Chain A
Amino acid sequence: MKIFFAIFLVATYGCVVKHHAQFGEIDGRGGLGRRFEVKVSETGVNLSEASSVAKSLTRSKAAQKDIETVRDIISMFQMGPKTGNIVFHDDYAEKLLSMILSQCSSGKITGLSLIRESNKYPVISGEIVKVRGYCKLGKGGSSV
């Protein structure tokens, strides 16, 4: 059983969950231009998986019960709607707009696609916001 669990953990290493996908206007006049990608992420924590791992580290039933109690108390302090796993900083996506414009200083951005996804690992996850788009060619045919 433990071997199966270990194999399962390895097999699901890096599983991706897509939460939200959105596409914007596509201006194909004169070609799409240069493709760019911008990604921001933060480490998320799965509390129930963390408590399961902690419980598996001890054989004492009293300690396992303590871990469950601690997990339940913590979850009372972390109530609310969740997408993916919880993170401890919510400002990791605030620089997204500046990062998009730094990829295309001309501002001629089109074909934007935004994906909110999670890269799942045991106990932790990567909470990712990925933006892909096209920077249209500037004057004189050079991409900026």
Chain B
Amino acid sequence: MFKKLFIIVMLFCVSSCVHLQSVSLTQIPAKKSKKVETEAHKWIILGFTFDNDYLDEVVPELNRRCSNGKIQGVLTKDETVNYFIGLVMKQRVVVSGYCQKA
């Protein structure tokens, strides 16, 4: 009984564990003004996912936050958040950069 309770508590403790899958960084400008950030995510239940189209909204969203400007120093973090022993996961891509306006 105690063993089962311990296992359940441990499962909840390791839930929402974040794992960094990959990271990339572009060249950083000398003038770092306004920082803009956006994220795109997708829930994965039982490991089923059929496309990565959720990433399409990242570039237009960042462009909206820095309209008529140039975003440099782009940091991309590709993360996986595990909510329940790999059965419920969230794939999250966080992209941030410095917005330069003329």
Contact = CB atoms under 8 A, between A and B. Distances in A.
Q: Do chains A and B touch in the complex (CB under 8 A)?
A: yes
Interface of A: 11-12, 14-30, 32, 111, 113, 115, 117, 130, 132, 134
Interface string B81-102: 0000000000101010100001
A9 B59 CA distance: 35
B48 A115 contact: no
A114 B59 CA distance: 12
Interface in B11-39: 21-22, 24, 26-27
Contact of B63 (A17, A28, A115): A28
Nearest to A114: B24
Interface string B23-65: 0101100000000000000000001111110011011101100
B70 A29 contact: yes
A26 B102 contact: no
Contact of A12 (B48, B59, B66, B72): B48
Contact of A24 (B26, B49, B93): B26
Given A12-B48, A18-B52, A115-B52, 13 more contacts: A11-B48, A18-B78, A18-B91, A21-B22, A23-B24, A23-B58, A23-B93, A26-B63, A26-B74, A28-B63, A28-B68, A117-B52, A132-B56
A94 B93 CA distance: 26
Contacts of B95: 23
Given A15-B48, A21-B22, A23-B95, A28 B71 contact: yes
B52 A28 contact: no
A134 B63 CA distance: 12
Contacts of A21: 22, 52, 55, 76, 78, 93
